[in-house]
Amino acid sequence: MRILQLCNKPPYPPIDGGAKAMHNITRGLLEAGHSVKVLCISTAKHPLKVAAIPESFREATGIEGVFVDTGLNIVDAFTDLVTADNYNISRFFSPDMDIRLIQLLSQEQFDIIHLESLFVTPYIPTLRRYSKAPIVLRSHNLEHVIQERIAQGERNFLKKPYRKFLARQLKRYEQDVLKQVNGVAAITAADASQLGQHGCTTPIAVIPFGVWPEEYASTPPAGPPIFFHLGSMDWRPNEEGIRWLLRNVWPAVVRKHPGTQLHLAGNRMPKDMIRAKLPGTTVTGRVADADRYIAKRHVMLVPLFSAGGMRVKIIEGMAMGKCIISTSIGAEGVHFKTGRNILIADTAAEFIAQIDHVLANPHLAAEIGQRSMELIRTEHNNTNIIKDLLAFYARLLGK
């Protein structure tokens, strides 16, 4: 099968959740014996650095990027507000990318066109004009759900109605796009269910984020539990959650358990967090090796309140045998059993209680971590997930 994978940012290097989700699809399809052409949007924030990509991956995918200026433009944003277009999406459209797609589709034929995220859907009209291949939307998140949750948590009374408007606007766009594609590969069953509730009649398959479990084997670290969070801090839900944790949870934990450690790391860590030097905290920016960072610590905290889709870092942490303390929203998409393979906390009091529980029971984190590894081996093995994706492709092709 010949597949065109259109990405809203480079899938390589796979250093954040979105890039990893895209890269693992690419790698899985290649390992299954299929042909994948990768065309991605390259931006100032996420540039494609071809020279840094292994030659084997470059040759296998013919990966190329087209630069698109996705930076905020006040005039364009205001124009889209007036015209009811969605600026979050429209800023990813570029005539240069459109031209490159026309050239590519005029030269090559594909069996499937695989769109990574809602942000590349502005190119659907061009794809339809120049290709007869079924189009599959890989839905990483329900973007309007994220915006709705952000709006609910917005404290600024001037911003709140504007965020609600953006959420409604984005919801209308998502619903319209669903009618334009041939299939949707939702990353969680919850997302798939919500799409169905919104009247989506387009075929939907649940294709979760997958890993190769054997690549995540690690030796449990010694010593008392170190609590940690690792995530890109230029993604609003992460910053929102960590600021909440530092304000409402961690001071109480340190008062009750002096000497307990919380480590925070991630790309674009706010400078005020690094300078704050709060008791019991160690705050850094981007780490060179995310897997090594996770492996050397014990308990992952995931205080997310406005996210959607599936948290890649939770899957990777579980694959390494880490105990996870997460909100229900943060753990969406994982078939967990709280108290068995994850600990759920949705309020400050619950977070404090779960941390108390871990500190009072020295073996608890390791036991939960072991059971979380078993869950990942069963439900998030990428080899099996790719088989499901290929079966979905075949169904759309009528095979």
Q: How far is CA 277 from CA 280, 302, 322, 394, in A?
A: 8, 21, 26, 54
CATH code of the domain covering residue 99: 3.40.50.2000
What does the pLDDT read at residue 42?
96
pLDDT band at 197 (very low <50, low <70, confident <90, very high): confident
For the residues 127-136, what does the mean pLDDT come to?
Answer: 97
CA pair distance 74, 9, nearest whole angstrom = 22
What does the pLDDT read at residue 308?
60
Mean pLDDT of the chain: 89
In this model, does residue 115 exceed pLDDT 80?
Answer: yes
Is 299 found in the same domain as 194? no
CA pair distance 235, 215, nearest whole angstrom = 27
- 21-67 residue pLDDT tens: 999 999 999 999 999 999 999 999 899 999 999 999 999 999 999 99
Is 167 found in the same domain as 230? no
For residue 276, how far is the Cα from the chain centroid?
Answer: 28
Is 219 found in the same domain as 135? no
Is 17 found in the same domain as 155? yes
Greater model confidence, 399 or 60: 60
Kindly give, in sequence order, each residue whose CB lies less than 8 Å from that of residue 34, ignoring residues fewer than 6 positions away. Answer: 1, 2, 3, 390
CA pair distance 52, 19, nearest whole angstrom = 15
Tokens of 333: 């998409």
Q: How far is CA 298 from CA 109, 120, 227, 292, in A?
A: 48, 37, 6, 12
What does the pLDDT read at residue 143?
62
- 71-102 residue pLDDT tens: 765 444 444 444 444 556 888 899 999 999 99
For residue 212, how far is the Cα from the chain centroid?
Answer: 17
Percent of the chain at pLDDT exceeding 70 = 89
CA pair distance 157, 386, nearest whole angstrom = 45
For the residues 286-310, what does the mean pLDDT come to?
Answer: 87
Is 28 found in the same domain as 44? yes
Is 224 found in the same domain as 343? yes
What does the pLDDT read at residue 259?
93
Is 154 found in the same domain as 66? yes
Q: What secondary structure does DSSP assign to 321-358, as a single string? A: T-EEEE-TTTTTTS---BTTTBEE--SHHHHHHHHHHH
Tokens of 175: 């619903």
Strand locations in the chain (E):
2-7, 35-42, 64-67, 112-116, 135-139, 183-186, 204-206, 226-230, 261-265, 281-283, 299-302, 323-326, 343-344
Is 113 found in the same domain as 219? no
Q: How many domains does the chain have?
A: 2
User: What is the domain range of residue 317?
Assistant: 213-379
Is 365 found in the same domain as 240? yes
